[in-house]
Amino acid sequence: MPCQKRGAMMITTRRQILAGAAGLTASAAFAAPFDPRAYDTAIVIDGLGAFNDPDGKESDGFNLSVRAVEELRASGLTAVQQTIGEVGNTPGGWESTVASIAFFNRLVAANPQVLSVARTAGDIRAAKAARRMAFIYGTQDTAMVGPTLDRIDTMAGLGIRVVQLTYNLRNLSGDGALEAADAGLSKLGRTTIERIEAAKLLLDLSHGGARTIADAIAHAKRPPTISHTGCRALHDHPRNVGDASLKAVAAKGGVVGIYWMPFLVAGGKPMAADLIRHLNHAVNVCGEDHVGIGTDGILSKTVIDAAARKRQAEAYASRSAAGYAAPGEGPDIFTIIPDLDSHLRFRLFADALSNAGWSSARIEKILGANLLRLYGEVWG
């Protein structure tokens, strides 16, 4: 799903959020919150998300607004996998990838007090210690690589650390989640995985077809990720994955990230309880050491005004024309979990898990410790 631009309205404190969270009562809403001291020391990683300045300053001289800096630091977010380049079989994909890296490098260079780029797991720990957020550069396709496999080494040299094999449709590596044929991994796809692993990059199987995922995991020598998905056993949607895929990732030592997307529920309007339901299922299938989060959203609170509706309608029209819009997307469908819709979303999320009876140790694993372990094993 495309990212939506965030507007200017903001609830500034955690207490205000807890008092005003939509659909939650004082007795039910986070009655046993996660210890804020534990949260402040935890590594918090969004395994697939995005960052933007809620005041739109990141494209205006690259200097972030005061508000953006304050919200970022208050959020406690340690690292986010930022999508680099475009998706789909579109011309100019390679050029877009290189330009995207240049953009985020400039953004980091202009804001070194709060931003950095992670190439190792140690870089993420260093970002935490310095109160910075680290970008993890990742692609959501290999269409920009195609048969020119030396580009994978170039991408690694430019700082990319995660490579997603397919995006909903068929590319030269294999079939995506929307391909009815579900023909699996191609011969080139197998070689592509070998080159990804040789470059010590993390293989991401999000948006893949079930057979492509199974083939890729069987062929992989290193632990992979499905960075952003849901559980198909709970809602039968092509972007959600079945228990067989969940088990296979865990058996290989990888991590599955549960997204905060409309695809979690049939009505397309999930709440925190729905997210936790998917997380519970994933933990039951994979084990608590192999589950994380990949929101597929951005940090700031969503403000749905006329301008936002126009952008969303245009984005959906573009995705539909390209053929990779998934069922459940729409011109008026936003990526929102209302009772977590704040720049403090990860704090609220930890509180929700604690209120649901999760242990502090398990919460810290889901927040980011599992992904940090995976990154260390793959990248070094």
Q: Is the pLDDT of residue 2 over 90?
A: no
The 10s digit of each residue's pLDDT in 179-232 is 999 999 999 999 999 999 999 999 999 999 999 999 999 999 999 999 999 999
pLDDT in tens, 23-48: 333 334 445 899 999 999 999 999 99
What does the alpha-carbon distance between residue 151 and residue 94 come to, in Å, rounded to a whole number? 9
Please say if the pLDDT value at position 5 is more than 70. Answer: no
- What percent of the chain is predicted at pLDDT more than 90? 87
**What is the rounded average pLDDT of the residues 356-375?**
98
In the numeric block, which tokens belong to residue 183? 């023909």
Average pLDDT score, the chain: 92
Tell me which DSSP letter residue 57 carries. G
Give the pLDDT confidence of 43-59 residue by residue, as tens digits: 999 999 998 898 876 66
- Model pLDDT, residue 24: 38
Q: Which CATH architecture has domain 14-379?
A: Alpha-Beta Barrel (3.20)
In the predicted model, is pLDDT for residue 293 greater than 90? yes
What number is the average pLDDT over the span 314-323?
A: 96
Instruction: Report the C-alpha gap between 71 and 329 in whole angstroms.
Output: 28
Per-residue pLDDT at 59: 62
What would the mean pLDDT of 124-136 be, rounded to a whole number?
A: 99
The answer, yes or no, to whether residue 1 has pLDDT greater than 70, is: no
pLDDT at 14 over 90: no
Mean pLDDT in residue range 146-167: 99
**Percent of the chain surpassing pLDDT 70:** 91
Distance, in Å, from the CA atom of 258 to the CA atom of 261, rounded to the nearest integer, reads 9
Confidence (pTM): 0.91
User: Given a cut of 90, is residue 19 above it in pLDDT?
Assistant: no
Amino acid 29: pLDDT: 44
pLDDT digits (tens, 9 = 90+) for 273-284: 999 999 999 999
Which long-range contacts (C-beta less than 8 Å, at least 24 apart) are formed by 17-23? Answer: 17/342, 17/344, 17/348, 18/348, 18/351, 21/338, 21/339, 21/348, 22/338, 22/339, 22/341, 23/271, 23/338, 23/339
Which one is predicted more confidently, 8 or 376?
376
Using CA atoms, how far residue 8 sits from 78, 300, 342, in Å, is 23, 9, 12
Neighbours of 358 (CB within 10 A): 22
**What phi-psi label fits residue 178: left (phi over 0), alpha (psi between -120 and 50 degrees) or beta?**
alpha
Contact call for residues 198 and 156 (beta carbons, < 8 A): no
293 in Cβ contact with 367 (< 8 Å):
yes
Asked whether residue 363 carries a pLDDT value surpassing 80, the answer given is: yes
- Mean local confidence (pLDDT), 90-112: 96
| pLDDT bucket at 7, cuts 50 / 70 / 90 | very low
CA dihedral (128, 228, 65, 68) positive or negative: negative
pLDDT tier, 6 (very low <50, low <70, confident <90, very high otherwise): very low
